[in-house]
Amino acid sequence: MFTVVLTATSDAGRIIGFNFDSSGGSGLGFSGSLVQVDPFGQKAIFNDVPAAVFEAFGASPKDDTHFLVPTAQGIAINAAESATSLSGAFNFSDANAQGPSLAFAQIVWRFRGSVSYTGDFTVATPTGNVLERVSGDFSILPEPSTLVLAGLGTIGLIAARRRRGAA
């Protein structure tokens, strides 16, 4: 499995919310071969599920794709997850206002998978709030050394079969 922690940084001002909500066909959110751990059937979309719950289930919060903010810091909107998606929006309360940098999502996916994302951040600037759109993807291919070892193993199997056939 591979894990990436996504951090948003703004030069314009402080981050006061984000929108990765795919409702209404907006195309926002995370999609791909995500790893989702739902301890005892409990969705872990935000950073609210205690580590002890994951551990009782035989897992860890580090094994789960989720947003890295607890809902106690603001208002969560239309949050949902599946084996291939994570979506939701979040507005921070004034008491929990963020700075210009925010670690907002942990994405976990399996070997040779890819994950794409599109979302908006609301940034408070001296002249008013602005939206900043982000998008991208992560793709994992085997390391070259892994490919070389697999190739050598295949060549060894072919050679062994030829020797058996010639004997």
Secondary structure (3-state) at 72: helix
Contact 8, 120 (CB under 8 A): no
| Mean pLDDT score, 55-73 | 93
| Mean pLDDT score, 72-98 | 90
Q: What is the pLDDT of residues 140-165, one digit of tens each?
A: 655 555 445 555 555 655 555 555 55
Whole-number pLDDT of residue 68: 96
| Mean pLDDT score, 57-78 | 93
Whole-number pLDDT of residue 7: 93
Whole-number pLDDT of residue 152: 54
> What are the DSSP calls for 99-161, one per residue?
-SEEEEEEEEE-TT-EEEEEEEEEEEETTEEEEEEEEEEEE----HHHHHHHHHHHHHHHHHH
Q: Using CA atoms, how far apart are residues 73 and 7, in angstroms rounded to an integer?
A: 17
Whether pLDDT at 108 is above 70: yes
Contact 18, 122 (CB under 8 A): yes
Contact 20, 89 (CB under 8 A): yes
Looking at every residue in the chain, the average pLDDT score rounds to 84
Q: Which tokens hold the place of 150?
A: 């697999």
| Mean pLDDT score, 62-87 | 94
Whole-number pLDDT of residue 153: 53
Query: In the 8-state DSSP scheme, what is residue 96?
Result: G
* Sheet with 2-9, side-by-side order of all strands: 2-9, 101-109, 66-67
Q: Which of these, 159, 152, 110, lies nearest to 2 by C-alpha position?
A: 110
For the chain, which residues make up each domain, given as ranges?
Answer: 2-140
| Mean pLDDT score, 53-81 | 93
The phi, psi pair for 19, rounded to 5°, reads -135, 105
Q: What is the pLDDT of residues 6-47, one digit of tens each?
A: 999 998 899 999 999 988 778 899 999 899 999 988 889 999
